[in-house]
Structure 1
Amino acid sequence: MSDGSRYVPYEERTGAESIVYFTRDLSPAGIQNVYKKVNNGITGKVAIKLHTGEPGGPNIVPPSWVKELMEMEESLKNATIVETNTFYDGDRYTTESHRKTLAINGWNFAPVDIMDEEGTITLPVKNGKWFKEMSHGSHMLNYDSMFVLTHFKGHTMGGFGGSNKNIGIGCADGRIGKAWIHAKNGNDWGVVEEELMEKITESTKATIDHFGKNITYVNVMRNMSVSCDCEGVAAEPVVTPNVGILASTDILAVDQACIDLVYAMTEKEHRALVERIETRHGHRQLSYMKELGMGNDRYKLIDVDNNDMEIDRKEAVKDLKPFVKMQPK
């Protein structure tokens, strides 16, 4: 088993390469530009899975950006934002409190489906070590495609939160699925390090196997606190510079590319985020995705700002601007 506290350099990886698209344009247009490169499978009734945040959370993808994106992009005009209730007792624990939080944060421009509002369904986990099935909100079955729009950042328990965490925790229902992921020996919050990363990843696998080719991933590397958006206004201050937006049809490649861009920063720029990832054994998310056949950890990074030229990771973070707080409008 891989050591989740250790970063694996690119030259030590083996296997095929996927394509990851990159833009420095942190805006709705930037999201659209990379989304257009990876949206061929997004058809029919579309679910947009994103983290809508705790009340007043400062670091989420701004609702105004998502609104503009949905207005600009034809395939998303009639899409539904999807969420599930939380496992912890807070402002998104019940459907009623969750909807109040959605209103506070400005998610009132499009339908928002709390997928476990009317019960749960289980989907198979193929070749899982911990699970044979995962419990999700029953409304997941109402969608033909899923667009996974992720705010990439640190995470208190997972080390980092990318597309894998967004789906693995975010699509599991609040009472059953999330309990299965976190529970150890009767303790609801007993799982840490490798076991937690593997359980999150197996939950993700159930979702992506369900949607097959009709799922795609965009990670927004902005306002990257070491804290998850589930910590809301209590999140640690952001000290990592903004990078840009990445997209792929390969979930492992897009999360791995984000990690590689973090490690390509200077020690001063990435110290806090790297410490969070390594102390929580977050790299196990990546190695376990590879073991389960969920994607490739090798990729070509394509710069959509410069005529789709392939670029080196160090070029992508060459001239990072200091972090500037950009509050949602």
Structure 2
Amino acid sequence: MSVSKVYFTDFHTEAFGDGLPTKLKKLIKRAGIADLDLEGKFVAIKMHFGELGNISYLRPNYARAVVDVVKELGGKPFLTDCNTMYPGSRKNALEHLECAWQNGFTPLTVGCPILIGDGLKGTDDVEVPVVGGEYVEKAKIGRAVMDADVFISLTHFKGHEMTGFGGTIKNIGMGCGSRAGKTEQHASGKPQIDPKLCRGCTRCQKECANGGLVFDKEARKMTVDQNNCVGCGRCLGACNFDAIYFVNDNANSTLNCRMAEYTKAVLDGRPNFHISLVVDVSPNCDCHGENDIPILPNIG
């Protein structure tokens, strides 16, 4: 594996000088985006449109800067993401697009179409072989993502309850997985609930989209339905009392390995380019319907 060349610019701007979108355009040109053959090619720009209520997602202005450069080089760009496997405003394509529009991502603002990669209900996927994979034989990737000729990731770092931090690999590996693909990546562990620590607040149940949590009204305790639980870990992040835990100690590390292999499936054999911003690094993922203050200053 060859070592990547990394190009960096900070967020400083001079009075009457370039704004941040212009700086981003200059950076990706300097980093060699023009070396990709984009003429007449379909270019998927994978990003996160943010959950409603969360405003730490990347601004549409950054997406527009990348789109403008791709179009300047003759490419046919579209912004894309795949549906989620948990409750929220992005679990099907109709709500997902509505969410994107409300958060400022429209064809008018970003300069290109917006496509939900795995279709209306998250079932439009392609099984992509993972060459040399140890954890995944065939990754289930959104069809529109795989139909693109060129792949560009545009992401920023943020905290995550299961992976520690989410960045480019999470944006690609988890983000490009269909609903079935996301379920497969999380399938290495299912949580248990310590009844001594559970307060019966039901906060965790609001995060479960699969009927994996059942509240015992008599005991005033939450329990896990092992048949319905998909191991997504949303309940783990929602519990303020440390009552929820994984029996499988390597569940998180296995999730990261599967996510890396899904990323390989998305990128293998086609031109790709990656843009990461260290900005608005919230403690929790953009998938949450809220965000806290950044845990470190914006860097570049």
Q: TM-score under structure 2 normalisation?
A: 0.70
* Corresponding position of 2:188: 184
Cα distance per residue 1:125-177 (max 9 Å; x no partner)? 11112111100111223211011111122222111111111000110012x10
- Structure 2 unaligned blocks of 5 or more: 13-19, 190-226, 234-250
SS at match of 1:79: strand
Deviation (angstroms), 1:120: 1.2
Q: Matched residue pairs, number? A: 226
1:30 alignment partner, one of 17, 20, 23: 23
* Corresponding position of 2:115: 113
Q: How does 1:201-280 map to 2 (within 5 A)?
A: 201-211=260-270, 214-232=271-289, 234-244=290-300
Could you say if the C-alpha distance between residues 77 and 138 of structure 1 is closer, same or farther in structure 2, counting changes exceeding 3 Å?
Answer: closer
Deviation (angstroms), 1:72: 5.1
Cα distance per residue 1:271-325 (max 9 Å; x no partner)? xxxxxxxxxxxxxxxxxxxxxxxxxxxxxxxxxxxxxxxxxxxxxxxxxxxxxxx
Q: 1:85 touches 1:98 (CA, 8 Å); kept in 2? A: yes
For residues 260 and 3 of structure 2, the distance between their equivalents in structure 1, rounded to whole angstroms, comes to 20
Runs of 4+ in 1 over 4 A off after TM superposition: none
The letter for the 2-side match of 1:50 is M
Instruction: Among all aligned residue pairs of Structure 1 and Structure 2, give the percentage whose two residues are the same amino acid.
Output: 31
Could you say if the C-alpha distance between residues 76 and 226 of structure 1 is closer, same or farther in structure 2, counting changes exceeding 3 Å?
Answer: farther
SS at match of 2:7: strand
Q: 2:42 touches 2:75 (CA, 8 Å); kept in 1? A: no
* Corresponding position of 1:71: 68
For residues 158 and 73 of structure 2, the distance between their equivalents in structure 1, rounded to whole angstroms, comes to 27
For residues 73 and 85 of structure 2, the distance between their equivalents in structure 1, rounded to whole angstroms, comes to 32
- Structure 1 unaligned blocks of 5 or more: 1-14, 245-329
Q: Which has the higher helix share?
A: 1
Q: 2:58 touches 2:156 (CA, 8 Å); kept in 1? A: yes
Question: What root-mean-square deviation, in Å, do the aligned CA atoms of Structure 1 and Structure 2 show?
Answer: 2.1
Q: 1:42 touches 1:147 (CA, 8 Å); kept in 2? A: no
Q: 1:184 touches 1:190 (CA, 8 Å); kept in 2? A: no
Could you say if the C-alpha distance between residues 66 and 188 of structure 1 is closer, same or farther in structure 2, counting changes exceeding 3 Å?
Answer: same
SS at match of 1:24: coil
For residues 168 and 80 of structure 1, the distance between their equivalents in structure 2, rounded to whole angstroms, comes to 18
* Corresponding position of 2:200: none
* Corresponding position of 2:97: 99
Could you say if the C-alpha distance between residues 156 and 42 of structure 1 is closer, same or farther in structure 2, counting changes exceeding 3 Å?
Answer: farther
Larger Rg: 2
SS at match of 2:282: coil
Q: TM-score under structure 1 normalisation?
A: 0.64
